[in-house]
Every structure is written in C-alpha cells, then in structure tokens.
A and B are shown apart, each in its own frame.
Chain A
Amino acid sequence: MTAMNAMNASNESSAERERGTRPVVLDVRDLSVSYGKVEALHHIDLKIRRGEIVTVIGPNGAGKTTLLAALMGLLPAQGEIVYLGERQGAERQVEQLVRQGMTLVPEKRELFGEMSVEDNLLLGAFDRYRGGHRDELETMDQVFEIFPRLAERREQLAGTLSGGERQMLAMGRALMAKPKLLMLDEPSLGLAPLIIKEIFRIVAELKKTGVAILLVEQNARAALQVADYGYVLETGEVSLEGPSAELASDPRVIESYLGLGGKGGAAAR
C-alpha cells in the first residue's frame, strides 16, 4: 500500500504536466440537473482528457448516476457540455452521442439477458455496423483478449452469467463501439473482492488504448488508485477535486471515504 502511494506521488508531477497538454474529450461547465425531487446536480464543472481516467467518488445519493445519465443524454440538463471540441445542443440524444463515440456502462448493466454473450457484444457494435463499418468480428476478438472469460462463455445466455461476468460483458459490449469516452457507473457494485481487483486492473489497462474513462465509484480507494484525477461529489455538488494521489492523502477524503469504515476499500487491494 505504501509502496503504491509513493509511486503515485513520484509520478504525480509528470502526470500533471501531461494532463495540461492532452486534448480535452469532455468539458462540462456549470451543469445542473433537476430530476425528480430528491436528487439534483448543481453547477458541476468537470474535465476529461484523452487517455485519462477521471473518477467521481461520493456517497450514495450524491448524484453520481444522475451525472452520468445527464452526460449520456438520458436526462435533460442545463449548462454547457463541450464534447470533442463541439458544444452540444440542448436536444442531445443518446443515439447521436453513441455515434460520436460516447458510451455508458450503466450501474444495472442493462444486458440483453436472453441473448448469448456473443450477440450482446455484437449489438455493442450496432451503431458502427449501421455506419458502414464491418470490423465487428475483429473488435470482438480484441474484447475477448481483454476479457478471456467472455470468450469461454460466448455461447452462454447473458442472463445466466455471474455478477463479475456480467460486468465484464457490459464493459466488453461498450468497448465494441470503439468509444472515445467510456463512462463506467459503479463497476464494482455487488462484486466479490477478487473480481473487483480484476475489473480495476482492466480499467487501468484500457487507459493505454487512449480512451478517456469517467469512472463513477463508491469504492473510493480502488477508484483513486487507478484514476489520474478525481472529483468528490456530495449532495449534488463538487466538494473537492484534484489529482487522485492528492485526494487520497486529503484528510477529508481519508476520513469520509478511505477510513476504516471505507466501503470495500481494503477488499479491493
């Protein structure tokens, strides 16, 4: 643990310098979402660059899932969203964002339970197929390389998979779209410690492909370990932000999210 922290700390300054130069994938300014009566987001600013993992941590009900839903065009939002250098209009549609390389792996996974693993993956490439690309089988092989477990289960129905395999399938399906921005909502939710470790190892690995990753997690310890930058979301507002190593050593974060009471933190190691 200490060795890992020290490593993060020594890399931090160079990572920071690099962060400044990479192209910005998603730039959110003053985003507000009014949704139902309970959850809402107020004036969120958030930035993700290419090949970067940005995490949003925070307690249950802070609005993390709402944030992702708003970014994905599932919920109407006020404010400015600049994606790939283009300011998004008020009538953002999920389908249009998928076409532009934005994907969301939702908290509930939303798999096609009565279809095989293979068909689930294939549908991940639906929009690319519709756009005239015919490389879905090669992409699927790449996904199978990342998730060998899915290759073993390719004929099995998605509904019969274990929790960890479902998460892998949901992530693999998202990767089939060759995304530029991959948004993961609580990938560790309900999974066993060993599987969580595996999932986070893969998330860290994916970063090398150049995809920007927005990782929303309650498991702050695991999230801050893989992320380059982090935001703490509390009751719909960003209460803290900074490079993840800094956040991980911030006393307020330690007390609320990494302390002995920290959920699943130790388990993820």
Chain B
Amino acid sequence: MDLQIALLLGQDGITNGAIYALLALALVLVFAVTRVIFIPQGEFVAYGALTLASLQAGKLPGTLWLLLGLGAAVALVEIALALRTRQMRRIPSILLLNCGIPLLLGGILFAIPPATLPLAVQVVLALMLVVPLGPMVYRLAFQPIAEASVLVLLIVSIAVHVTLIGLGLLFFGAEGSRTPAFTDMSFEIGDALLQGQTVLVVVASAVLIVALYFFFERTIYGKALRATAMNRTGARLMGISATMAGKLSFTLATLIGAFSGVLISPITTIYYDSGFLIGLKGFVGAIVGGLASYPVAAAGAVLVGLLEAYSSFWASAYKEVIVFTMIIPVLLWRSLTTRHVEEEE
C-alpha cells in the first residue's frame, strides 16, 4: 500500500465514520433519555436514502403511504384515549397533526413533480416524510411501556426493527437505489485527490453535530432533554414529561438517521434492509462511548469507519468481522474500568 492508497482509504473511512458518528450520537441520545437501545435507527437511514431516491426518480415515495398509515394508527390510539378521559377538545389537533399534515405532504407531492425540484428541496421533502415516523413509532411502541426495564425495551426495539424492515420491503420493494453524487468536484492536494463528496459529507455531519450541540447547550428544550437523561424524577417535577422527552429524542434521532441516509445514498447502494448494518456500526461507536459520552461515541464511530476502510483493503472478506470484533476488547476494557451499576427497577 502506498501513500496514495492510504490517503484514499482514509478519506473513505472518514466519510463513513462521519455518518456512523451521527448515528452513534443519536443512539446515545435516545438511550440517555428513554433507556431504549434504538435498533430501528438503521431503518430510518434506509428510508431517508430510498425516499430521496424515489423523489429524484420522479416516483411517489412509499414513505408517504407508511406515514399516512402510521399517522392514522396514532390518531386512532390518541382519539380512543381522549374519548376515555373525556378530553374531546384534543381531537381536532390530534387529527390535524397525525392525518392532516401527512395528507398535506401527499398533496404537495401530487401537485408538484418532485423530480424537477432542486436537490436541497428534495432533501427537505425526504426529511419531512421520514422524520414524523420517529415520534409515531415512539407513541405506538414505546410510550405505553416507558417504565419497563431496559431488557423489555430492547426486545420491543428489535420487534420494531423487524417490523420496519418488513414495511420497507412492502413500500420500497426489493431493488436497491443509489442517488447521483451531490457534487463531482474534487481537489488535488499534492499527490492525493480529495473528493468533493467526502468534504460535503464531513462538513454536513459537522454542521449537524454543532447544531445539536447548540440545541443541547443553549435552548430550554435541549436542556430539558439533558435534564431527563440526568434525573428523571427531577425532570418530571419540573413538568418535563417523559412522553414529551421521549418523542423529542425520537424525532431528533430519526432526523439524524434520515439525514445520514441522505448523505450515504450517493456513496453506496441502499436496499430496504441495508440500514441495519450501517446502524450497527454507529452502535459500535456508541458502545465505545459507553452509551453515555457523546464525544467518545463520535470518536469511536470515526474509528469504526477507518477500521472498516483499511480492513476492506487488506482483508475485504473479513471487514465486517473485524469491525464487530472491535466490540469485544472495548467491552472488556469498559467492564474492567467502569464501576458496575445495577439497573434501578
């Protein structure tokens, strides 16, 4: 391997690593706030990529039907609850939020052929179609069992993951898609070629990470989420409901997931079930950070990206094995250096 190849692989690694870092941050966030290990994260990556691909191909994205269906299901659950607790005045807003807005999005898609729109608008539309799925999934699957143990939440998380893969096959079909590169610019630095795509992914990830930092450090809602992660009882006593915090963290995680999907879609072909493996690599990064530390999780994820890139050169058949084997020394190191804490029941 000469320097040029090393640099090329390094670029690849950092590009993927930046995306894994985003996913790792989302996993840490969701776990800290809701104690859910967010396995379905990867599905939202795939949904984001596939939705953008269908928009660009001029097709109506299957996400729309999924959104209408899930929205209707949430509306039914909420209306049943409102009837039971005699809060009729909540019904119009429930319908508007869960059925009205998805219908409006559908109307927009029918009215304007999305393939003709500029890329940025397509990306925003794709995010608007995918992101509401997160809080809906939280409402249906996790809110009713918010007080359950981590293990029960994990089992439900796996069930949601399997369900979303099935729905992905149903709504997007078995074919994979790949979107055209956002840019074909490239820069020459000495001997090495720096691809514009790499720069774009890294910059976009960095911008999102900085935006998240500001959200958590500077806004009262961000602080409320951190407070819930730190002290659930204390947060409830301030009127920060676990439901609100849960929905908000799922919304953010889905946004991060779908955005990662948008970023990765020109790099690899994405199928309905490709998200799982991508999400798992973010998970390895999150594990390095002990599912608690944001910076360590992000660094771990970049390391995963680099490891993957270099091992695909030396031992491409074993690249996944090498990446996931990394978890064993990390777990050993963590179990030796951190005090074991029993889960509070």
Please tell me which one of the listed residues A106, A111, A127 contacts residue B239 in the complex, with CB atoms under 8 A apart.
Answer: A127
Please tell me which one of the listed residues B231, B236, B239, B241 contacts residue A112 in the complex, with CB atoms under 8 A apart.
Answer: B231
Please tell me which one of the listed residues B230, B233, B239 contacts residue A95 in the complex, with CB atoms under 8 A apart.
Answer: B239
Stretch touching chain A among B6-14, B66-74, B219-227: B219-227
A106 neighbours in B (Cβ, 8 Å): 233-234, 237
Please tell me which one of the listed residues A72, A115, A130, A177 contacts residue B227 in the complex, with CB atoms under 8 A apart.
Answer: A115
A144 neighbours in B (Cβ, 8 Å): none
Which of B85, B226, B235, B239 has the most CB atoms of chain A within a 10 A radius of its CB? B239
- Is A113 located at the chain interface by the 8 A CB criterion? yes
CB distance from A166 to the nearest CB of B (A): 12
Q: Mark A87-115, 1 if CB is under 8 A from B, else 0.
A: 00001011100110001101000111111
Chain B, Cβ-Cβ closest to A126 = B238
Please tell me which one of the listed residues B223, B238, B241 contacts residue A173 in the complex, with CB atoms under 8 A apart.
Answer: B238
Residues B234 and A126 in contact, CB atoms below 8 Å apart: no
Please tell me which one of the listed residues B223, B233, B237 contacts residue A98 in the complex, with CB atoms under 8 A apart.
Answer: B237
A95 neighbours in B (Cβ, 8 Å): 236, 239-241
Chain B, Cβ-Cβ closest to A170 = B234
A234 neighbours in B (Cβ, 8 Å): none
CB distance from A130 to the nearest CB of B (A): 7
A115 neighbours in B (Cβ, 8 Å): 223, 226-227, 230
CB distance from B232 to the nearest CB of A (A): 9
Residues B239 and A130 in contact, CB atoms below 8 Å apart: yes
B220 neighbours in A (Cβ, 8 Å): 122-123, 126, 129
Interface residues of B in 215-270 (CB under 8 A from A): 220, 223-224, 226-227, 230-231, 233-241
Bound-complex Cα distance A122 to B85 (A): 32
Bound-complex Cα distance A251 to B223 (A): 51
B224 neighbours in A (Cβ, 8 Å): 123, 126
Residues A104 and B223 in contact, CB atoms below 8 Å apart: no
Contact flag A112-B237 (CB < 8 Å), given A91-B85, A119-B223, A123-B220: no
- Is A124 located at the chain interface by the 8 A CB criterion? yes
Contact flag A124-B226 (CB < 8 Å), given A110-B233, A111-B231: no
A114 neighbours in B (Cβ, 8 Å): 226, 230
B234 neighbours in A (Cβ, 8 Å): 106, 110-112
CB distance from A88 to the nearest CB of B (A): 13
Chain B, Cβ-Cβ closest to A136 = B220
Chain B, Cβ-Cβ closest to A99 = B239
Residues B237 and A94 in contact, CB atoms below 8 Å apart: yes
B223 neighbours in A (Cβ, 8 Å): 115, 119, 122-123
Q: How large is the interface on A (under 10, 10 to 19, 20 to 34, 35 or more residues)?
A: 20 to 34
A91 neighbours in B (Cβ, 8 Å): 85
Which of B227, B234, B237, B241 has the most CB atoms of chain A within a 10 A radius of its CB? B237
Please tell me which one of the listed residues B85, B231, B237, B240 contacts residue A113 in the complex, with CB atoms under 8 A apart.
Answer: B231
Residues B237 and A104 in contact, CB atoms below 8 Å apart: yes
B238 neighbours in A (Cβ, 8 Å): 98, 123-124, 126-127, 173, 177
B239 neighbours in A (Cβ, 8 Å): 94-95, 98-99, 126-127, 130, 177
Bound-complex Cα distance A119 to B222 (A): 11
A119 neighbours in B (Cβ, 8 Å): 223
A130 neighbours in B (Cβ, 8 Å): 239
Please tell me which one of the listed residues A74, A93, A103, A123 contacts residue B240 in the complex, with CB atoms under 8 A apart.
Answer: A123
Bound-complex Cα distance A130 to B238 (A): 11
B227 neighbours in A (Cβ, 8 Å): 112, 115, 123
Interface residues of A in 116-149 (CB under 8 A from B): 119, 122-124, 126-127, 129-130
B231 neighbours in A (Cβ, 8 Å): 110-113
Chain A, Cβ-Cβ closest to B217 = A119
Bound-complex Cα distance A158 to B295 (A): 22
Chain B, Cβ-Cβ closest to A103 = B237
A177 neighbours in B (Cβ, 8 Å): 238-239
A104 neighbours in B (Cβ, 8 Å): 237
Bound-complex Cα distance A99 to B226 (A): 21
Bound-complex Cα distance A173 to B238 (A): 8
Chain B, Cβ-Cβ closest to A108 = B233
Bound-complex Cα distance A127 to B220 (A): 10
Residues A72 and B85 in contact, CB atoms below 8 Å apart: no
Bound-complex Cα distance A177 to B241 (A): 15
Bound-complex Cα distance A106 to B241 (A): 17
Bound-complex Cα distance A116 to B30 (A): 23
Bound-complex Cα distance A142 to B224 (A): 22
CB distance from B240 to the nearest CB of A (A): 6
B235 neighbours in A (Cβ, 8 Å): 112, 123
Given contacts A127-B239, A130-B239, 20 further A-B contacts (CB under 8 A): A74-B236, A94-B237, A95-B236, A106-B237, A110-B231, A110-B233, A110-B237, A111-B231, A111-B234, A112-B230, A113-B231, A114-B230, A123-B240, A124-B238, A126-B224, A126-B238, A126-B240, A127-B238, A127-B240, A129-B220
List 8 contacting pairs A-B, 8 Å CB cutoff, sorted by A: A94-B237, A94-B241, A98-B239, A103-B237, A112-B230, A114-B226, A122-B220, A177-B239
Q: Which residues of A contact B (CB under 8 A)?
A: 72, 74, 91, 93-95, 98-99, 103-104, 106, 110-115, 119, 122-124, 126-127, 129-130, 173, 177
